[in-house]
Amino acid sequence: MSRVDVQNLTKRFPTVTALQSISFSFAHGEFFVLLGPTGAGKTTTLRLIAGLERQDEGSILLDGEPIDARTPAERDVAFVFQQYSLYPTMTVYDNLAFPLRSPLRKIPESVITTTVNEAAEKLRITHLLNRKTAQLSGGEMQRVAIGRAIVRAPRLFLMDEPLSNLDAKLRESLRVELKHLQKTQGSTTLFVTHDQIEALTMADRIAVLNEGRIVMQGTPEDIYDRPDTTFVAQLVGTPKINLLPANRRDGSVLVRGSAISVPAPRLALPESFLLGVRPEDIRPDPAGGFKGTVMLTEPLGVETILHLRSGELTLLSLVPGMARERVGEEIRFSIVHEKLHFFGPDNRRIAEQGH
C-alpha cells in the first residue's frame, strides 16, 4: 500500500518562493496529476517528494510515516523524466535490468530476466530488447524509461512531463497505454504536466497549481464542469471558455455589450459578475434567441470553431463536424442554460446554494 500526504509544504529559493504551504493527499492506486503553467511549482513539488530537494517547511508522509529525513534511495520512489536519461551504450535489456542489478538488492539473474521480460511485454518493447538505446525513436526511448521505473516495483511513481518531448501521435497513443498500464498494475502515480488534455484524460484526480499555490483539487469532471476560479476555467478546455461581463436585472442575466440574456440562476449574484460559457454550449440554432455574424471558421475535421460577433463581443462556438456556416453570414444561436458558470468580482465561482 502507498498513500501519500503532502502537508503544508513551503519551498523558498533565494529570489522566489516556489511553493507556499501546499497540501494534498492521494491514495494507493490513484493516478494523481499536478496541472499548472510553467513556473507554477509542479516540478519542485515532485523533487521534494523524491527527496532531490529539501523543503523549508511542511512534511511528506508515505503510508502515514514522515519520510522527510530519508535519502532519495530510501524513499523507494521511481522518477520518470521528460528527457529519457537512458544509458546510450547499453542495450534496452541492460537498461531495464540496471536498477535490479544494484549490489544492495542481490537479485538472482534468473529473476531479473523474468522481471525484465514481463515489463518489456507490458510496454510492447520485447522486439527491442537487444538494441542499443541510442538507436531508438523518442517514443521507444520513453517506453524503456517507463519500463525501467516499472521493474523496480517502487511504492510510488513520479513522472515529470514524460510525454512532452514526443510528437502528437505518439503522445496520444502512449497516453492511453500509460493509463491502461497504471490501472492494471494498480500503481500509485503522481504525474506532472502543463497540458490540460493530459490531465483531464489520465487523472483520477487533479490538483491545479498556480504561482506556488493549489487553486483547486478535484476529479477531471469537477475541474471541467465546476471550476472554482476563472483561472481554472480558462486553463482547461480548447478552445477556451467564453468569459462575458454580465449584470443581473430582474429575473435575467444580461451580457454587457450584446443582446444576450439568459434566465438568472438560483444563485446569490452580485450586481456585476462574469458569465462563463464553454464553446460547445453555444450552438448555431435556427430557432435560437440570439444573432451573431460569423467572423471566422476554423474547421478541425471532427468539429469546427466558429468566431461569432454578437454586439461588441466575439464568442467562440464549437460545433460538431465540418460546419456549413460561412464567414460574413449572420446566424442565430442558442446557449445551453444548464451549463453556465458564474464568477464574482474576485474571480471565484459563485457557488450553488447549499454547497
Partner 1 sequence: MATIQLSRVEKKFDDMHAVKPLDLTISDGEFVVLLGPSGCGKTTTLRMISGLETVTGGQILLNGEEVTWKHPSQRDMAFVFQFYALYSHLSVRQNIAFPLQAQGQKRETVDRRVKEVVDILRIGHLMSARPGKLSGGDQQRVALARALVRHPAAFLMDEPLGALDAEMRESMRAEIKNLHIAQHATTVYVTHDQVEAMALGDRIVVMSKAEVQQVGAPIEVYYDPANLFVARFIGSPGMNLVASRIAGGAAEMPGANRYPLPAGWAKPLAVALGGRPDAVLGFRPEAARVSPNGALAGEVYATDMHGGYTVLHVNISDSEIVHIRSDRQTSYPMGTRVRFDIDPDAVRFFDPKSELAVRREAKI
Residue 201, interface with partner 1 (CB under 8 A)? yes
Instruction: Tell me how far apart the alpha carbons of residues 173 and 183 are, in angstroms, rounded to a whole number.
Output: 16
Residue 346, interface with partner 1 (CB under 8 A)? no
Question: By CB under 8 A, how many residues form the interface with partner 1?
Answer: 42
Among 103, 104, 221, 251, contact with partner 1 (rule: CB under 8 A):
221
Residues 52-91 close enough to bind partner 1 by CB under 8 A:
none
How far does CA 309 lie from the centroid of its chain? 31
- Closest distance to partner 1 from the beta carbon of 263 (Å): 23
Among 14, 108, 186, 301, contact with partner 1 (rule: CB under 8 A):
301
Q: Match 534468473 to its residue by C-alpha cell.
A: 110
Residue 286, interface with partner 1 (CB under 8 A)? no
Residues 240-279 close enough to bind partner 1 by CB under 8 A:
240, 278
Among 167, 285, 329, 352, contact with partner 1 (rule: CB under 8 A):
167
CB atoms closer than 10 angstroms to residue 39: 15
Q: Match 512534511 to its residue by C-alpha cell.
A: 59
Residue 1, interface with partner 1 (CB under 8 A)? no
Residue 42, interface with partner 1 (CB under 8 A)? no
Instruction: Tell me how far apart the alpha carbons of residues 176 and 171 are, in angstroms, rounded to a whole number.
Output: 9
- Closest distance to partner 1 from the beta carbon of 42 (Å): 15
Per the CB < 8 A criterion, the answer to whether 257 and 245 are in contact is yes
Among 90, 197, 215, 243, contact with partner 1 (rule: CB under 8 A):
197
C-alpha cell at 149: 521505473
C-alpha cell at 338: 444548464
Among 66, 263, 270, 320, contact with partner 1 (rule: CB under 8 A):
320
Residue 197 host element (H or E): helix 196-202
Interface residues toward partner 1, by CB under 8 A: 37-38, 167-169, 172-173, 175-176, 179-180, 183-184, 195, 197, 200-202, 220-221, 224, 236-240, 278, 280, 295-296, 298-302, 305, 307, 318, 320-322, 327
